Amino acid sequence: MVGRTHGVHAEPITFGFKMALWFSEMQRNLERMKRAQEEISYGKISGAVGTFAHIDLNVEEYVCAKLNLKPAKISNQIIQRDRHAYYLGTLAVIAGSLEKFATEIRGLQRTEIYEVEEKFSAGQKGSSAMPHKRNPIICERICGLSRVVRANAVTALENINLWHERDISHSSAERIIIPDSNILIDYMLQKFTNIISNLNVYPQRMKDNLEKTKGLIFSQKIMLDLTKKGLSREDAYRMVQGISMRVWQGQTEFRELLLEDPEVGQYLTKSEIEECFDYQTYLKNMDSIFTRVFGQ
């Protein structure tokens, strides 16, 4: 399939490469969640302002151990809310990842691209007015819910700032943002797991889209091969860009214009030009990349 930068065709990749990128990101999110769990797993029973004036430190240690918590090294009336902000911030990062993946599926499901598609079940309606519609509604739902989780993280950051040894301004907000964010992330993960498990993937459409720019996705290889023949990078860029603009304007295939161009012909033979249009150039390191991600 084609890789896109700024929404424009760039160079070839594979769909597996895109999935491996997502997998790696979720691995990082798993590690973040472990750190967040560690960060939030603290308790305190240290009195009204944290001085243990009327209770023994051993009581705190005993109770925290029973609850599988660590006693805070120091506290006032509460556990400091930077810990809660860290935890909810981690949930927001995970939500952001899911939104990013869902947005990509939505983009690739657009009619003019149509390389993947969220499963459309029998009897499902895409639109009450337009019977032909097959909309990525679950991906859209994930994108919307991600905004809520992110907003909750902002509230958690604002809860860090409390008056003196404690006020109660954080409490009312936490009663909403903590359960809601946890429930939402659980829901979003379940929904996106189902999306990936049932995703419709259209390899032929990916191949067809690779050809839409008439070979322009190989422009960097041409430019670099010209520089290897002694042409400056600036001149090589100018030469290849000029030919590329003619392709954008609808003039035949990139390969044909290169083969016909006398200036290019001074540096590259016809066989050397043909070799630049080999997809394997862009896929040769995929196995090594996958080994990095998934191991042996």
- Residues tagged active-site: 6, 127
- For 18-43, letters b (16+ CB in 10 Å) and e give bebebeebbeebeebbeebeebbebb
Task: Give me the phi and psi of 217, to 5 degrees please.
Answer: -65, -10
Closest CA to 56 of 66, 45, 67: 45
Q: Number of C-alpha atoms within 13 angstroms, CB side, residue 53?
A: 7
Taking 3-state DSSP, the helix, strand and coil percentages for the chain, each rounded to the nearest 5, stand at 60, 5, 35
Taken in order 19, 202, 192, 105, the sign of the CA dihedral is positive
Structure tokens at 53: 């004036």
- Looking up tokens 């240690």 gives 61
Structure tokens at 292: 């990095």
d(CA 58, CA 70) in angstroms, rounded, equals: 12
d(CA 288, CA 264) in angstroms, rounded, equals: 34
Contact in structure between 270 and 258 (CB atoms under 8 Å):
no
Rounded alpha-carbon distances, angstroms, from residue 161 to 19, 76, 80, 183, 213: 40, 13, 9, 25, 54
